[in-house]
Amino acid sequence: QPLYLRQHVGITGLGLAYMTHAVENLHQIFASFQRTLNQEELTPWTSDNSYQPFEGVTANCRYFTAGTNASTRQSIPFQKDIDPEGVLRQMLQDGIVHKEENAVLYMKASKSSPNLKWRYSNISPSSFSIGDIVEIQFTVMNIRQKEGNYKMITVLKSLTVLDDSISMVGIE
């Protein structure tokens, strides 16, 4: 089923303060959604527990959009590194499209000296490895589920390698 295929990433800060702060911010966003929805039921949000004892965050993005949202726009091409064999492209059909909001940017940040600005270059998703220091960008939103309740989700927008020195040890 093409509709359920998605790009997914999970990250943890291994107990570092910035990640703990980011998870706390997501809990605050969830609390804000709860207040906004009043008496509507909102499925509780929890951080990812895959990295015990550390908290993590996951985000994903569907490859395809369907239904009434699919009928309003044309599909955009898949990025070369996302669909090198054209398998995803072959799944496109009436009512199932790949739109701009289904695309995720994969980049590497670098700078040649501490005083220079960061430079970003596109990379393949397969370039990411466990141990890379990354920046993740995602949208936080509520969706209404079939049962009528709401769920807070994180929709992946971009993933950027900031430092791959740990994962590169032993390769060179």
Summarised one tens digit per residue, pLDDT across range 70-93 is: 777 788 999 989 999 999 999 998
Query: For residue 57, what are its two tokens?
Result: 């965050």
User: Which residue has tokens 């009434």?
Assistant: 68
User: Which residue has tokens 């709860």?
Assistant: 34
Task: Kindly list the domain boundaries of the chain, sorted by start residue.
Answer: 2-168
The reported pLDDT for the residue numbered 171 is 62
Residue 56 has pLDDT above 60, yes or no: yes
Reply yes or no: is the peptide bond before residue 77 cis, omega within 30 of 0: no
Residues in CB range of 52: below 8 A, 6 or more apart: none
The reported pLDDT for the residue numbered 68 is 74
State if pTM tops 0.85: yes
How far apart CA 56 and CA 71 sit, in angstroms, is 36
- pLDDT digits over 95-123, tens only? 889 999 999 999 999 987 878 888 999 99
Are the C-beta atoms of 80 and 37 separated by less than 8 Å? no
- Secondary structure letter of residue 3 according to DSSP: G
Average pLDDT, the chain: 90
Q: What is the mean pLDDT of residues 144-158?
A: 93
- pLDDT digits over 1-53, tens only? 788 899 999 999 998 899 999 999 999 999 999 999 876 788 999 999 888 89
